[in-house]
Structure 1
Amino acid sequence: MPKPAKLALEDGTVYEGHAFGAEGEVTGEVVFNTAMTGYQEILTDPSYRGQIVTMTYPEIGNYGVNSIDIEHESPSLSGFIVRSDSRIFSNYRAEGDLQSYLQKNNILGLTGIDTRALVRRIRTTGAMRGILSTSDLNDESLVNKAKASQGLVGRDIVREVMPTKAVAWDQKLDDWTETEVGKHERTNSGAHVVCMDFGMKWNIPRHFASRGNQVTIVPGDTSADEIMKKNPDGVFLSNGPGDPEPLEYAHHTIRELLGQVPVFGICLGHQLLSLACGAKTFKLKFGHRGVNQPVFDIQTNKVEITTQNHGFAVDEKSLPDCLEVTHRNLNDDTVAGVRHREHAAFGVQYHPEAASGPHDSHYLFERFEKQIAK
C-alpha cells in the first residue's frame, strides 16, 4: 500500500498524494519544469538546491535511470513531484528504476496529485515556499511550517554545492554519448579554461574538454589572484542555485578578472558577470525551467530554442553603459544575454550545453574560443 504524503504551500493550499522515493519531511521553493525528458539531469542539477521540483509532463520514470545521464555526483534538490511515477521502465541504457534512485539519494517524491492544478497556481501566484511530508499529515501544521521556512532571496546557497578544492577535468562528451556532438566540436585548441564552479552541470566541462581544452575547475569563491596564478587562457563562470546578489565574493573576483582574461558566463554566471559590472537582478514570478525556451539573438536575427533553469534575471533598466544586450527571451522579453563593450566578456541566461535539450546554442563555446585565440 503506497504511503500517503502531502505538499503544503505558504498560501494555504494542500495537495494529497502518495510517497515514492525517500520518506520524511523537507521544505523548499516549489517550482516547475516543462521538459518531457531529462528528469535525471534535472534531479542532479545543483541549480535546484533548495527547491521542490514539479514536472509538468505526466509520466516520469518510464526510461529508468543510469550512471551516464548525471550532471553532478548526487541530487541537490529538496523534493520531486510528478503526476504519475512509472513503475515499469524500458530503455537499453537503463540501470535501475527512478523510485530506487530517489530512495538511495534520500530524495522525497510525491506522486498522484493534479500537477496541472499545482502549476496553474504557481503561474498565477508565483513560486512559493512549500513543505513535502510523509510524517506530518496535518494540513494546518504543514501550512505553518511552509510559512516559516526559508526563501531563496538573500541567501548564499552556492556554498552548499560548490567544490572544496581545485581539480583537473578531462572527461569528454565522446566518453558518455554515441552522438556526433563531441566529434564535431573537437578543435584541439589546447587552451586552458578555468571554470569557477558555483554548482556547475558536468556537461559544461565535458564540452570544453571535447573541444581540446585543458580544463581546471575551481571553487566559486576562489580569488582572482589564485585563478590568474593558474595561467588561464579564459575563465568560465558556471550556473548555480539561488540569488546571485549575496555572492559578493564572486562579484569582486569577476571585476578583477575583467580585462585580464576572456570571461564567459552561463545562467548564474551570466547574472554574476552583470552584477560585477554594476547591473542589478530581480526575482522572476515563477522562473524559466524547461528545454523549449525561445531566445532571439540580436546580432544574427536568429531564434534558438534553449534549455533554461533560473528564477532570477538581470534587470535591463539597471544595465551600465559597458554592457549591451545580445539575446532576449521571446516569452517575456527579459535579458537572455549580455556582452561587455570594452573587454572580452559575455554571458547568456540559458544552457548552451543543453543536457537535456536542443543543440542550437553550441556556437557560444566557439565564440568563447575565438575570444581566447585573439
Structure 2
Amino acid sequence: MTQAYVALENGQIIEARSRSPGRTRGELVFTTAYTGYEESLTDPSYEEQILTFSYPLIGNYGVREDRFESNRVHPRGVVARELTEDVAEWLRSEDVPAVDELDTRDLVTGIREQGAMRCGIAAGPDATAAEAEAELEACKGMSEHTDIGSQVSVEEQVTYNPDGVGPTVALLDCGAKGSIASSLVERDAVVEKLPYDATVADIDSVDPDILFISNGPGDPENFEAAAALVEEFVGEVPLAGICLGQQVIANALGGETQKMEFGHRGVNQPVRDLRSDRVVMTTQNHGYTVSEPGNLDVTQINVNDDTPEGLESDELDVITRQYHPEANPGPHDTLGFFDDVLAMVESPEAAEQ
C-alpha cells in the first residue's frame, strides 16, 4: 500500500511505503555500503541529507548502540529497498522519516547520471504526492546552510583519556565521528575535543602537540573558523585532517575545493599511494573534493577518478586524508594513519639528542 511519496528535482514522483512517518527535504545522496548502517546513519557528515542505501536489505543484524558514531541519526530522511522493523522502529524513535519498497537501483542510477539532487518526502497514512512536491519546492528555495557546524559540533570542550601518556591532540569537532577520538585514545593520546568555532585562545589553552580537523557535513568554505586556526598554527603545531578536514586545510593553505557530481560514499573506494604504488580499499563519505592542493603535495589518489585522497607537507608538518582511516564501517587497511599522525610529534628522547 502506498503510504509515501518521494519527489525528485528531475521531475520524478516515486511511490513508496512509509516506515517512519513525516515530511522532510534535503539533498538526495547514496551509499554503496552493504553493512554498517548504524554507523552510516549516525555519521554527522550526513547532516541535512536524504540517505539512500543501494544495498537492498538494511537492518538484517539489528541495531546496536555501541556501533553508533554519534548520539543521534543525522540524515533528514532514509530511503531503502527494504528496511527491517528494527531499523524502522529506531528511525521512528528518532522522528526521522523513512521509506522503502521502491526501486533503489533506478534511484541510484539516476543520481550517478544526473548528480546528487534535491528531494522532498511525504510519508504516513495521510501523505500525498502534493506534500512531497511542496517539500521539494521548499528545498529548492533554501540556500545551503552556512553554519551547519553548529548542528553537529560539541558546545564545549570535552576531554578523552586525560591520563594518557601520548601526545595531546586538539580535535576540532566539525562533525567528528566518535571512532576518530577512539582511534587516537587507543594509541594513548590525550584528546581535547573542541567546538567547530573554537578560537586561537581556545587552542592555546589546550597547548596541543597536534591540531586535528575532523570530518563534517557541507561545504568546507563554510568552516571559516577552522580555516583561520589552520592559518594561525601551520608551521607551529603539526596539522592533521580527515575528510572535511583535508578540504579545510587545503583551502587555508592556498588550495581550492569544489562540489562533486555525486560524491564518494561507501566502503570500497580504491586509493593508490603514489610513493609505494600500493592500492588500499577505503571508507568514504563526502560530496566535496580538493581540486587544487595549494602548498601541499598530493600523495594518494582515488583510482576511479584521480581525485586527491592524501595531502602532505614535511616542511609544514601536515598530513591529511580524504577517506576515513578509522572506517566504521569498512576495511581497516588504513588504520596506520593515526600512527603516522602521532609520529609527527617529536619524542622527548629525540628532543634531548
Q: Does 2:224 align with 1:248?
A: yes
Matches within 5 A, 1:179-258: 190-258=166-234
In structure 2, distance between residues paired with 1:336 and 1:228: 30
- What TM-score does the superposition give when structure 1 sets the normalisation length? 0.88
- Preserved contact between residue 326 and residue 335 of structure 2 (Cα < 8 Å): yes
Per-residue CA deviation, residues 145-167 of structure 1 (Å, 9 max, x unaligned), is: 31431567563311211110001
- Preserved contact between residue 46 and residue 241 of structure 1 (Cα < 8 Å): yes
2:118 to 129, 143, 146: 129
In structure 1, distance between residues paired with 2:156 and 2:143: 25
Alignment-derived partner of residue 84 in structure 1 = 82
In structure 1, distance between residues paired with 2:130 and 2:66: 42
2:282 to 306, 319, 339: 306
2:63 to 65, 89, 95: 65
1:101 to 90, 94, 97: 90
What is the alpha-carbon root mean square deviation over aligned residues? Answer: 1.8
SS, match of residue 156 in structure 1: coil
Alignment-derived partner of residue 270 in structure 1 = 246
In structure 2, distance between residues paired with 1:32 and 1:14: 18
In structure 1, distance between residues paired with 2:272 and 2:68: 29
- Preserved contact between residue 10 and residue 143 of structure 1 (Cα < 8 Å): no
Shift of 1:255: 0.7
Alignment-derived partner of residue 324 in structure 1 = 297
Alignment-derived partner of residue 120 in structure 1 = 109
Gapped regions of structure 1 (runs ≥ 5): 88-96, 172-187
- Preserved contact between residue 29 and residue 129 of structure 1 (Cα < 8 Å): yes
- Preserved contact between residue 29 and residue 152 of structure 1 (Cα < 8 Å): no
- Preserved contact between residue 152 and residue 243 of structure 1 (Cα < 8 Å): no
Alignment-derived partner of residue 156 in structure 1 = 147
Matches within 5 A, 1:292-371: 292-316=268-292, 319-320=293-294, 322-371=295-344
- What TM-score does the superposition give when structure 2 sets the normalisation length? 0.93
Taking only the aligned residue pairs, the percentage that are identical comes to 39
In structure 1, distance between residues paired with 2:17 and 2:161: 42
In structure 1, distance between residues paired with 2:7 and 2:249: 36
- Preserved contact between residue 59 and residue 84 of structure 2 (Cα < 8 Å): yes
Gapped regions of structure 2 (runs ≥ 5): 348-353
Task: Assess, with a 3 A threshold, how the Cα gap between structure 1 residues 53 and 28 changes in structure 2: closer, same or farther.
Answer: same
Alignment-derived partner of residue 23 in structure 2 = 25
For this pair of structures, how many residues does the alignment match?
344
Stretch moving more, 348-357 or 338-347: 338-347
Question: What amino acid is the match of 2:95?
Answer: N
In structure 2, distance between residues paired with 1:324 and 1:114: 42
